[in-house]
């Protein structure tokens, strides 16, 4: 096998491979020997099928298999001979027709990883202002949220004469007329209102959007497809039509007093202990937010600090990914091609920087660490059998280790305000 490497651009190389007939024949024989061991054909003992019989059934598969082997061997020899570090899968740029047992010539186009000379990490400077102060207003806001979340709905006397409000639980009695039908169906629907006048039937189902404001007149009208949830009468679930009805009952939350009794009802011994818990949670939330902001700053600073060529193919692949992501979001917003290009270059540059830092620091995630993490989030540990999940968890742990390392070793000017 002869291998020659030529330079096309800073990060692009052409690999020309020439394989002699003898080597091609050896690969063909290996392929049939392996095939003989694993296939079964009627009338033949395992491992005793003649090659001419195998050729009748599997010649096309063997040809594909041998071709892929020769391509792979040519690439492996080029990597070892010229000490190249591939950034992506190679592309066949030119090749002669391949026939079993004949000489084979082909060219591969490959992109290399950029060479990155990392500066001392202490030269990377990040400014950070961590504010862990928790104010009384913030505690009161969380307390008020808990109060509302745990308040019971109470029937309102004379609700027929009272306007509906945001957050009310209402009962609507009316009729549903399916499209293209003449006979309406009497139904009763219950839900919770919001500030926009929408009616939430089920927390996992999008709310019903009325045709007009109905809080004063209390006549609710909705046209569209009825949700597929248990709270909707079965006879109209998923059916397109118009529902119109009158409010028959209104229930409104009765807010409890914030005292020790209230705290005990939600599992705390006193209001003061509840406030302490809220304060602890707010500090944790602020600390996590501060870390995420630091991660963003350190990523942006690294990308801005280093300048090196990027593999064109990987940038183009990332551009396609971002375009598809935009299309899948169905946002309807104009696609900013300049933003897409800059974002793709940012992503690719950080990918190679992160890879270089991980290698420099010798950071890795062992299988045992992944399994231990999965066992902590899965009571039965069954998630560990999902290969894709396994690799996703590995990526998350690797990223956490990367940022832990960076935040310990870069220079951070920190103006920290501790929790009061």
What number of other Cβ atoms are within 10 A of residue 288's Cβ? 10
Answer yes or no: do 71 and 201 share one domain. no
Domain boundary among the residues 226, 253, 280 is at 253
Domain assignment present for 129: no
Answer yes or no: do 300 and 404 share one domain. yes
State pLDDT tens for residues 122-160. Answer: 999 999 888 899 999 999 999 999 999 899 999 988 777
Residue 415's pLDDT is 67
Residue 420's pLDDT is 38
CA dihedral 352, 357, 358, 362 (to 10 degrees): 140
Phi and psi at residue 48, in whole multiples of 5°?
Answer: -115, 15
Burial of residue 335 (CB within 10 Å: 0-12, 13-18, 19+) is exposed
Where in the sequence is the domain holding 91, given as residue range(s)?
A: 2-111
Burial of residue 7 (CB within 10 Å: 0-12, 13-18, 19+) is exposed
Answer yes or no: do 228 and 324 share one domain. no
Q: What is the mean pLDDT of residues 179-193?
A: 93
Burial of residue 291 (CB within 10 Å: 0-12, 13-18, 19+) is middle
| Cα gap 236→226, rounded to integer Å | 7
Domain boundary among the residues 210, 227, 253 is at 253
Answer yes or no: do 158 and 227 share one domain. yes
Whole-Å CA distances, 76 to 21, 47, 73, 238 = 19, 31, 5, 58
Residue 331's pLDDT is 61
CATH number of the domain enclosing 284: 1.10.3120.10
Percent pLDDT > 70 in the chain is: 95
Q: What is the mean pLDDT of residues 74-82?
A: 89
| 337 pLDDT above the threshold of 50 | yes
Residue 97's pLDDT is 76
State pLDDT tens for residues 357-386. Answer: 999 999 999 999 999 988 887 754 455 456
Element (H, E) at 347: helix 337-361
| 416 pLDDT above the threshold of 60 | no
Number of structural domains found in the chain: 3
Q: How big is the chain by its Cα radius of gyration, in Å? A: 33
Domain assignment present for 140: no
Answer yes or no: do 306 and 383 share one domain. yes
CATH number of the domain enclosing 44: 3.30.70.1050
> Where are any strands of DSSP class E within 201-313?
219-225, 240-253
| Cα gap 23→68, rounded to integer Å | 14
State pLDDT tens for residues 264-304. Answer: 999 999 999 999 999 999 999 999 999 999 999 999 999 99
């Amino acid at each position: 096998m002869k291998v020659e490497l030529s330079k096309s651009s800073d990060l692009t190389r052409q690999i020309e491979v020439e394989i002699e007939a003898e080597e091609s024949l050896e690969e063909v024989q290996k392929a049939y020997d392996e095939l003989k061991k694993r296939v079964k054909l009627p009338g033949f003992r395992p491992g005793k099928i003649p090659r001419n019989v195998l050729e009748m059934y599997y010649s096309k598969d063997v040809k594909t298999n041998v071709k892929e082997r020769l391509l792979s061997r040519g690439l492996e020899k080029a990597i070892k001979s010229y000490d190249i570090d591939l950034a992506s899968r190679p592309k066949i740029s030119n090749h002669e027709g391949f026939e079993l047992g004949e000489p084979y010539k082909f060219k591969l186009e490959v992109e290399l990883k950029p060479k990155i000379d990392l500066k001392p990490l202490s030269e990377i400077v990040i400014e950070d202002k961590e504010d862990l102060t928790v104010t009384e207003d913030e505690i009161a806001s969380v307390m008020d949220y808990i109060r509302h979340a745990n308040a019971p709905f109470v029937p309102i006397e004379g609700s027929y004469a009272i306007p509906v409000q945001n957050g009310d639980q209402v009962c609507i009695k009316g009729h549903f007329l399916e499209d293209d039908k003449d006979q309406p169906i009497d139904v009763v629907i219950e839900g919770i209102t919001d500030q926009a006048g929408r009616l939430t039937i089920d927390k996992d189902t999008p709310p019903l959007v009325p045709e007009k404001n109905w809080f004063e007149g209390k006549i609710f009208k909705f046209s569209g497809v009825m949700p597929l949830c248990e709270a909707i009468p079965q006879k109209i679930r998923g059916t397109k039509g118009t529902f119109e009805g009158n409010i028959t009952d209104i229930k409104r939350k009765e807010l409890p007093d914030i005292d020790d009794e209230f705290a005990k009802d939600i599992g705390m011994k006193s209001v003061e202990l509840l406030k302490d818990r809220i304060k602890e949670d707010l500090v944790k939330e602020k600390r996590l937010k501060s870390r995420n902001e630091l991660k963003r700053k350190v990523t942006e600073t690294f990308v801005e600090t280093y300048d090196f060529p990027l593999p064109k193919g990987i940038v183009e692949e990332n551009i396609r990914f971002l375009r598809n992501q935009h299309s899948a979001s169905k946002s309807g917003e104009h696609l900013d091609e300049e933003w897409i290009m800059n974002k793709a270059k940012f992503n690719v540059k950080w990918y190679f920087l992160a890879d270089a830092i991980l290698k420099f620091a010798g950071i890795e995630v062992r299988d045992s660490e992944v399994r231990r993490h999965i066992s902590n989030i899965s009571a039965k540990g069954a998630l560990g059998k999902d290969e894709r999940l396994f690799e996703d968890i590995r990526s998350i742990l690797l990223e956490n280790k990367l940022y832990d390392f960076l935040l310990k070793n870069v220079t951070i000017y920190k103006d920290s305000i501790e929790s009061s």
